[in-house]
Amino acid sequence: MNNKSKYTAAAAQLGPIDPSEPKESVVARMLNLLIEAKTKGTELVVFPELCLTTFFPRYYITDPANLDTYYESEVPISLMSDMFELVRKEKIIISFGYAERDNGIPFNTSVYVDSSGNIVGKYRKIHLPGHYEYEPDRPFQHLEKRYFTKGNLGFPTFDTTLGRLGMCICNDRRWPETYRVLALQGCEVVTLGYNTPKHYPLAPEHDHLQEFHNHLCMQAAAYANGMWVIASAKAGLEDNCELIGGSCIISPRGEIVAEANTTMDELVVAQIDLNECTLIRENIFDFNFDIYIPLYIYIYYIFFY
Binding site for ligand CDV (CB under 6 A): 49, 129, 142, 170-171, 174, 194-196, 200
Question: Cα–chain-centroid distance for residue 211?
Answer: 16
- The least distance separating ligand CDV from the CB of residue 304, rounded to whole angstroms, comes to 24
- The least distance separating ligand CDV from the CB of residue 198, rounded to whole angstroms, comes to 10
Distance between CA atoms of residues 210 and 195, nearest Å:
12
If you write DSSP's letter for every residue of 224-242 in order, what string do you get? HHT-EEEEEEB-EEETTEE
Q: For residue 225, give every residue at least 6 positions away whose Cβ sits within 8 Å of its Cβ, in sequence order, or none.
A: 179, 180, 182, 183, 252, 280, 285
Catalytic residue among 51, 100, 122, 125: 125
Verify whether residue 187 is a known catalytic residue: no
Catalytic residue among 43, 51, 168, 170: 170
60 or 292: whose CB is closer to ligand CDV? Answer: 60
Catalytic residue among 43, 49, 144, 276: 49
- The least distance separating ligand CDV from the CB of residue 58, rounded to whole angstroms, comes to 10
Verify whether residue 125 is a known catalytic residue: yes
Burial 60-78 (b: 16+ CB within 10 A, else e): ebeeeeebeebbbeebeee
157 or 196: whose CB is closer to ligand CDV? Answer: 196
13 or 42: whose CB is closer to ligand CDV? Answer: 13
Q: Among residues 36, 14, 35, which one has the least CA distance to residue 25?
A: 14
- The least distance separating ligand CDV from the CB of residue 21, rounded to whole angstroms, comes to 19
- The least distance separating ligand CDV from the CB of residue 62, rounded to whole angstroms, comes to 21
142 or 164: whose CB is closer to ligand CDV? Answer: 142
Distance between CA atoms of residues 56 and 62, nearest Å:
12
- The least distance separating ligand CDV from the CB of residue 110, rounded to whole angstroms, comes to 12
Q: Which amino acid does the sequence have at 110?
A: S
**What is the CB-side half-sphere exposure of residue 119 using CA atoms within 13 A?**
14
93 or 169: whose CB is closer to ligand CDV? Answer: 169
Angle, helix 210-225 to helix 176-183, in steps of 10 degrees: 30
Verify whether residue 90 is a known catalytic residue: no
97 or 121: whose CB is closer to ligand CDV? Answer: 97
For the chain, the residue count is 305
Distance between CA atoms of residues 259 and 244, nearest Å:
13
DSSP class of residue 73?
Answer: S
Q: What are the residue numbers of the active site?
A: 49, 125, 170
